[in-house]
Structure 1
């Protein structure tokens, strides 16, 4: 029996997602046409709003930064054979870690010392929150999907409890913490540009983007260049064979989920330190679940995840502009169009891959 043909990486993480995106945009365009709008006009407004100005591009990259973190978190777990859908909770705990550290040390340390501590706190809190479901999976047999879902709710409840009872200023009615000291604020791109004498429009884009790109390099090295990453992928591919080869599956589950939780926790840097400047109730806003689609569309590879995150950043920012600019095109319609793109981009991956494999085999065999 012949073995299935493996697609080259440039097809698997490059050409195939682009094909799926084209089909998704076609279907979304048909839906836009059915509800009485011009697909071309909607696409033009979306792209102009997301990429047509420096401010719009800044917002798109800001959204993409968050999606890179959550997409990488999902990808690392998937390579270990785990489906971590607890990114929401792990990101929430990362934000709590950032807030507690910023409120405790914000007035005592300079930014050059405090900001790295905030990064460590975000990663550590997310890691510890993910380690509990990992332990329950590895040593107690609990299903990782169920436990990570429940931990999302627990994280939201813990965040609300801390804000209402401990972190909210006594004279404030808003359910949010006190403002952070300036030293605890991740510098924004327009602020950095102003330091060098370049004027840029204000946007929420901040140095967290650089941290996200470094995280991509780390994940790529860890999974495909390190012995620990090889062990994680071996357990994800064939746990019994890995155990027979001397690899401890339980330890690899714990390691993969710890790294996954740390990556998700880094959302707290972008959102809490970089933008909000204080801890709020729902700062994650579904980014943990969006990370699942980002990872699947990016074929669980850092390069693909960056490209998918850019796409979702454009969709989020451009969708806001579409709802403003096109009369009668509500925010709900924008979400529907985005959902169709997510659905087809993810589902079409398994549908289109055999077609690409046959075409590639035919072209390769004809040489």
Structure 2
């Protein structure tokens, strides 16, 4: 038998491939969406364990576990189910409210909390796609809040002029602070992580100084580091009325999500962004100015982060703002972008999920006495498992991606005779 015949015989003797349906199922189970959902499920289970361990009723029942084990399991169920029901009531719909209008306040609170997270996540995700790590969200938000707030309380204009002007001022402030990073990286080669960290401190102390200086951002006659109240003509109007905190900033982030999707998938600039993110050397050989892409990417990323600052300072808050207006959103946006895998609509969904955790976490703490820190642990564990897909596959016994799915039937050796 010749060598070629032996090779053909060995190939024919191999295990046949699985049916097309099995291959399709394997692809679905290894998709990023399924991995994300499974990561969320694992995180909720871990959160349930933490809730059970920290609940006083469970601790009391476990002290006589061997005498009456049923009491312990009942206490665990009551603690976990009560916490997650409170989470649902606070984030999606509150069935304890007598009216539908009162019940849907929970989902509006979720969307309210999600608004700056989505904008910040879009900013971080866009930078990721270009190969940049923008962790300067805090500084960009503070500069944007300072610019939008100053316009918001300094000018008496009609709302159709005042509000757009304040929004544009905030976007310009964030774009300027992000553009500085892009320019320095393109011009000097400095690393954007170091630049953004340092500019976070510069922005914080600059805004803090301006809030303590009369004539700049400090309210007249006040000794506290706080700005004057934003004029009503510059406040983002509520979408469903004054009883709800959800304002028109959520509409702006929907528009921003559509814009980022179009930019990255339908525009020539987005093609250049993706090319630079995949391989800057190859993009340079193809004639793309990598330095210019870095600058433009950080300008747009800063403007999107500025939108998060605008939604904070021009939202339903009319009593002025302080240097803590960023509320840690600049760093939370990194986890939102990671969970959304840096895609516009994935980031949008991740922002709503984290907004639900934030709104529901307060309800858990108020209604069940569950520490809100447990919600933060759940969020962190989600990101941990998102960053480690092999760990999720091993827990749920999923097939490896790219691996050839084979039938478990025994192979049949085919005899081939040489001609």
Q: 2:135 aligns with which of 52, 73, 85?
A: 85
For the pair 1:250 / 2:291, whether they are aligned, the reply is: yes
Partners of 2:82 and 2:153 lie apart in 1 by 47
More divergent stretch after superposition (270-279 vs 311-320): 270-279
Superposed, which structure 2 residues align to 1:127-142 within 5 Å? 127-142=175-190
For the pair 1:148 / 2:172, whether they are aligned, the reply is: no
Secondary structure in 2 aligned to 1:275? coil
Conserved 8 A contact 2:47-2:375: no
Conserved 8 A contact 2:119-2:304: yes
Number of the residue aligned with 1:196: none
TM-score (norm 2): 0.77
Conserved 8 A contact 2:140-2:178: yes
Answer 1 or 2: higher relative contact order, Cα 8 Å, separation at least 6.
1
Partners of 2:407 and 2:137 lie apart in 1 by 43
For the pair 1:173 / 2:223, whether they are aligned, the reply is: yes
Could you list the runs of 5+ residues in structure 1 that have no partner in the other structure?
A: 1-6, 192-200
Partners of 2:286 and 2:314 lie apart in 1 by 44
Task: Give CA deviations for 1:264-317 in whole Å, capped at 9, x if unaligned.
Answer: 000122111112232322111111111111011011111111111111001001
Partners of 2:158 and 2:196 lie apart in 1 by 36
Number of the residue aligned with 2:22: none
TM-score (norm 1): 0.88
Superposed, which structure 2 residues align to 1:310-321 within 5 Å? 310-321=352-363
Conserved 8 A contact 1:28-1:340: no
Superposed, which structure 2 residues align to 1:1-367 within 5 Å? 12-36=31-55, 38-52=79-93, 53-105=103-155, 107=156, 109-165=157-213, 166-191=216-241, 202-277=243-318, 278-327=320-369, 329-344=370-385, 346-349=386-389, 351-352=391-392, 358=400
Q: CA RMSD in A?
A: 2.5
Partners of 1:228 and 1:9 lie apart in 2 by 32
Task: Give CA deviations for 1:128-148 in whole Å, capped at 9, x if unaligned.
Answer: 001111112111111111110
Conserved 8 A contact 2:139-2:202: yes
Could you list the runs of 5+ residues in structure 2 that have no partner in the other structure?
A: 1-25, 56-75, 94-102, 409-419
Number of the residue aligned with 2:68: none
Going by fraction, where is helix more abundant, 1 or 2? 1
Partners of 1:73 and 1:336 lie apart in 2 by 24
Conserved 8 A contact 2:47-2:374: no
More divergent stretch after superposition (10-19 vs 348-357): 348-357
Conserved 8 A contact 1:101-1:121: yes
**Distance change >3 Å, CA 69–CA 357, structure 1 → 2:** farther
Conserved 8 A contact 1:222-1:228: yes
**Distance change >3 Å, CA 249–CA 350, structure 1 → 2:** farther
Secondary structure in 2 aligned to 1:276? coil
Conserved 8 A contact 2:30-2:401: no
- 1:159: Cα distance to partner? 1.1
**Distance change >3 Å, CA 323–CA 341, structure 1 → 2:** farther
Task: Give CA deviations for 1:146-193 in whole Å, capped at 9, x if unaligned.
Answer: 1101111111111111111032223223321111221111101233xx
Conserved 8 A contact 2:43-2:378: no
- 1:365: Cα distance to partner? 10
Conserved 8 A contact 2:146-2:217: no
Number of the residue aligned with 2:23: none
Secondary structure in 2 aligned to 1:152? helix
